[in-house]
Amino acid sequence: MERETIIQRTLLVDASPRAIWRVLTEPQLTKLYLEGSQARSTWKPGAPVVWVDKVEGQERVRAKGTVMACQPERRLRYTCLLTDSDLPDEPASYTTVDILLEPERDGRTRLELWHGDFAGLPQDVRRAREAGREWVEVLVGIKRVAEEQQGLLAA
C-alpha cells in the first residue's frame, strides 16, 4: 500500500494570477484567510518567511521557512516548519510547499498546490492528513479573498 505523505490539490479561482499572488504574499491579505496570521517575507529566493499572529498582544511565530523559488504571479515555493509541531528545528523537519498559478482560457486561474514530503517525519501519514485538512480550509480562504480582491480591481 502506498503511503500518503504528499498533498496535492488543484483549485479553480475566479481571479487573475495577480490577485491571487497578492493574497499569497501581502500580510494584510494573508491574515484574512490564515486565522489572523500574516505571512512576512521579501519573497526573494533564500529569504526567510514567517507566519506571525498576535496572542494577547504578543507576536507569535506560527510557522517559518525559507523561500526556494519565487516567480511573481506564477510560482511560489518555500520550506515550512510549524513551530508547534514538536519537531526539532533542523532541515530534516521542514516540508516543502510549491504553489503554481496557471491562467485558464475562461479568465479563471488554476492554483496547483504540492506539499510534502512528510515521509521520514514521526507519524508522517497523520501529519500529512492533518496538513491536507488544513490546506482545504486555507485554499477555500485564498479563493474567497482573491475573488473579493478581483472584484475590487475590476471596480
Residue 23 lies in a domain: yes
Domain containing 137 — which CATH number?
3.30.530.20
Specify the number of domains making up the chain: 1
Residue range 87-124, pLDDT digits in tens: 999 999 999 999 999 999 999 999 999 999 999 899 99
Residue 100 lies in a domain: yes
> Distance (Å, rounded) from C-alpha 28 to C-alpha 1?
43
Residue type, 11: L
Residue range 21-78, pLDDT digits in tens: 999 999 999 999 998 899 999 999 999 999 999 888 899 999 999 999 999 999 999 9
Residue 1 lies in a domain: no
Q: Which three cell numbers stand for residue 12?
A: 479553480
Identify the domain containing residue 67 by its residue range: 7-154
Percentages of the chain per state (helix, strand, coil), in multiples of 5: 30, 35, 35
> Distance (Å, rounded) from C-alpha 108 to C-alpha 87?
38
